[in-house]
Chain A
Amino acid sequence: MAKSRGLYELLKLSSLGLEMGAAVVIGLLMGVWLDRQFSTEPWLTLLFLGFGFAAAVKAVVRALRKGIFADENDAPEE
C-alpha cells in the first residue's frame, strides 16, 4: 500500500507545475480583460498578474500541506 501511495503522491505533485503556469496565465488574462473593460491600462493587468503568482504559490503550499504531510503527525499548524 505504501508503494501505491507514493505513486499517487508523485502523480499529484507532477500536476503542480502545469497548475502553477496556468494560474499565472489565467491571472494575466483576467487582468488584461478587466483593463480593457475599465480602460485602466496597465494597473489591473499588473495587479492580477500578482494575484496569479500568488495563486501559483498557494497551489504549491496547499499541495505540500496535503501531500507530503498528509500521513505525518508533524504537519505544520495553520
Chain B
Amino acid sequence: MSADTFIFLDHTPLYTAIEQPATVEKFGGMVNNGLEASPIIHAALASALLVGIAFLVNRSYTNRGRNGLAPAEKTFSVSNLMELAVTGLLQFMESLMGSEARRFVPLIGGTAFFILFNNLMGLVPGLDGATANFNTTLACALVIFVATHVVGVRTHGAAYIKQFLGPVWWLAWLMFPIELIGHFARILSLSVRLYGNMMGDHRVLAIFLALVALGVPVIFMGMGIFIALVQTFVFTLLSILYITFALEEAH
C-alpha cells in the first residue's frame, strides 16, 4: 500500500499490525517467525467470541433458576443454539466413546468450537481464520496429542507402554519405533489436513474474487462453508478416536 494514498483502513487500530508482511519465507512460508500477528489476533478474536457466548449462555441458565432445565424461551436464541450444538456433540461422542464421553466434552468441544469459529471467520470478508495458518492447527493437534497420552497414562498407569510394544514381547523392539512414528504421524496428518483445506479454500476464493468479482465467488463461499463444517467434524472425529484408542486396553 503506497504511502501517499489515504486509505481509511490504514488508520484503523490493529490493521497495520495485521497487514505487515513480516513473514520469513521458511519451509515454503508454512512457518513464520512470529512477527506476523494476523493469526494470533484472529485466534484471540475467535476465543473472545466463544468466551462471550459462554458467558451469555451461562447467564441465561442462572436466570432460569436452579432447576431451569427446560428452555426458557421458545424463540431462536444464542443459548438455545449452543444448547443444541453441545447436546449434539455429546450424543455423537457417546456413540463413539460410551460412558466416558462426558469427561471429554470440555476438551473436544473446546477445540471443535475454536476450529469451527476460525474456519467460518475465514469466510467473512475483512476477517481471516487462524486455522489457515499452520502454527494454529499444529497447536490444536499438539493439544490433542498431549491430552491423548495424558489420558492413556492416567487410565492405565505404567501399563500404557504396552500399547506401544505390540502383541508379542520378542517383536517389541520393532514395534516400538513403528508405533512411535504412527503417533507422530497423527499430529502431522491432523494439522496438515486442517491447514491445507482452509488455506486452499481461501486461496481459491481469493483467486475467483480477483477474476470475477460478482456472482461467481458465491459458489465458492458455499463450498467454503461446507469445507469449514466438514473439516471441523473430521478433526473432532479423529481426536475422539485417538482418545478412545488410548482409553482401551492394549491389543
Identify which of B167, B185, B192, B241 contacts A55 (C-beta below 8 A): B185
Complex CA gap A15/B189 in Å reads 8
Query: Which chain A residues (22-42) contact chain B, with CB distance < 8 Å?
Result: 22-23, 25-27, 30
B250 to chain A, nearest CB (A): 11
Interface size on B, residues (CB 8 A): 21
A18 at the interface (CB under 8 A from B): yes
Is the pair B184, A26 in contact by a Cβ cutoff of 8 Å? Answer: yes
**With a CB–CB cut-off of 8 A, which chain B residues contact A56?**
185
Known: A11-B233, A78-B167, A78-B251. A48 touches B177 (CB 8 A): yes
Is the pair B182, A23 in contact by a Cβ cutoff of 8 Å? Answer: yes
B234 at the interface (CB under 8 A from A): yes
Chain B 146-189 near chain A by CB (<8 Å), digits 1 or 0: 00000000000000000000010000001001110110111011
Known: A22-B189, A55-B178, A58-B178. A12 touches B184 (CB 8 A): no
Complex CA gap A11/B173 in Å reads 33
A46 at the interface (CB under 8 A from B): no
| Contacts A/B (CB < 8 Å), 23 sampled | A11-B230, A18-B193, A19-B186, A21-B189, A22-B186, A22-B189, A23-B181, A23-B185, A26-B184, A26-B185, A26-B188, A27-B181, A30-B181, A48-B181, A54-B174, A54-B178, A55-B178, A55-B182, A55-B185, A56-B185, A58-B182, A59-B182, A78-B251
A residues contacting B by CB (< 8 A) are 8, 11-12, 14-15, 18-19, 21-23, 25-27, 30, 48, 51-52, 54-56, 58-59, 78
B residues contacting A by CB (< 8 A) are 167, 174, 177-179, 181-182, 184-186, 188-189, 192-193, 230, 233-234, 237-238, 241, 251
